[in-house]
Amino acid sequence: MHILVTNDDGVTAPGLLALAQEMRSLGKVTVFAPDKNWSASGHVKTMERPLRVKETILADGTPAFASDGAPSDCVALPLLGLIEEPIDLVVSGINPNANIGHDVTYSGTVTAAMEAVIAGVKGIAVSLDSPEGHRAPLDYSAAAVVAKRVAEKVIADGLPEGVVLNVNVPYLKESELKGYMITRQGLRVYRDALDVRMDPRGKPYYWIGGEAPTGVAENGTDFGALSQGYVSITPLQLDLTHRKAMDVLKEWNFR
């Protein structure tokens, strides 16, 4: 079992280290991550510039690869052959914030796992629903154990074709977790606001500011599970076709 571990926060992120360490109990681990933070970077294929790859070491002294590409590039490069040994599973994370609802298309963590699935390799994204405004170093230990358990299941039972697993873990001790819930993607509520400022030369610049997003804690959704203390596992697909809307649009008459 050869597991590729990546993230969108960069190779020095503590969530990546916690994930890599836990995955090592399941097989050989290759860490291949961006050399900088790519949060909310979306699904990228870097084609207009070449990419560099450096060998580096994680804080525990183990080797890793760092690339100036996006998270999805850090999956594409190894799968295209930069890493010779075939990869059986890609696990991305642990993201320091939840990736729920509409976050999934923005999220570098999730789109890295999507990149794996597009290439025919199983992909899991793992995120920690840390409390808003949490300043101290986050404790990734429970989320790392959850990631291992989910990966074990995927290795043992497989996954339906084309499915990306989006795993979100409440910020609780492992013993406090209520259990695992298979969920649907819920509704994110973004509270972005435009923050206009003037530079020292009197010209405006714009921050996408506002409060952190919240969500609708509906039963059966990712956000609902987290708010009840459950690990949320949402199977995502890459076929975005809205089948019901097809029937509506077929009534349109263009000619």
Given a contact cutoff of 8 angstroms between Cβ atoms, the answer to whether 230 and 170 are in contact is yes
Given a contact cutoff of 8 angstroms between Cβ atoms, the answer to whether 92 and 110 are in contact is yes
**Closer by beta carbon to a second copy, 60 or else 255:** 255
- Residues contacting a second copy: total by CB under 8 A: 74
User: DSSP assignment, residue 221?
Assistant: B
**Closer by beta carbon to a second copy, 60 or else 174:** 174
**Closer by beta carbon to a second copy, 15 or else 101:** 101
**Closer by beta carbon to a second copy, 1 or else 195:** 195
| 69-88: contacts with a second copy (CB under 8 A) | 70, 72-73, 76-77, 80-82
| 138-177: contacts with a second copy (CB under 8 A) | 149, 153, 157, 159-160, 162-163
| 23-62: contacts with a second copy (CB under 8 A) | 37, 39-48, 50-53
CA nearest to 178, candidates 187, 186, 191, 169: 169
Residue 160 CB: number of other CB atoms within 10 A? 7
**Closer by beta carbon to a second copy, 61 or else 192:** 192
C-alpha 25/C-alpha 129 separation (Å) is 24
| 195-234: contacts with a second copy (CB under 8 A) | 196-197, 204-208, 233-234
Binding status of residue 7 toward a second copy by CB under 8 A? no
Q: Which residues have CB under 8 Å from 241's CB, separation 6+?
A: none
C-alpha 56/C-alpha 232 separation (Å) is 33
Instruction: Kindly indicate which of the ranges 5-13, 85-93, 128-136, 193-201 contains the residues binding a second copy, using the contact rule CB under 8 A.
Output: 193-201
| 97-136: contacts with a second copy (CB under 8 A) | 102, 104-106, 111, 114, 118
94 preceded by a cis bond (ω within 30 of 0): yes
3 preceded by a cis bond (ω within 30 of 0): no
**Closer by beta carbon to a second copy, 73 or else 129:** 73
Tokens of 162: 């084309």
CB of 59 to a second copy, least distance (A): 23
